[in-house]
Amino acid sequence: MNAVHVNEVLLAHFQKIAEHKHLSVETLISQALEEYLEDYLDVLAAEEVLAKINSGEEQILSLEEAEKMLNELAD
């Protein structure tokens, strides 16, 4: 188990939310950190794709274009 230090204001917020959700503060902080990291990694992945689109390495297709390509592959 690792320790996380938060200031008193954050701790008070976590305590209030944990009580409302019937969770321990530790569980709530763990869940919050997991969600933050997942969101952060999603942002990084999106930024990578956007950079590829902007450089021309990737392209954006409309639904109609994608369906047409898939239909051509199926034929």
DSSP class of 9: H
pLDDT value for 1: 67
Does 13 fall in a domain? yes
* Number of domains composing the chain: 1
Residue 22, sorted as left (phi over 0), alpha (psi -120 to 50) or beta, turns out to be left
- What pTM was estimated for this model as a whole? 0.73
Residue 2 domain-assigned (yes or no):
no
| Span 45-68, pLDDT tens digits | 999 999 999 999 999 999 999 999
**59 lies in some domain:** yes
Between CA 35 and CA 27 the distance in angstroms is 12
Residue range 16-47, pLDDT digits in tens: 999 999 999 999 999 999 999 999 999 999 99
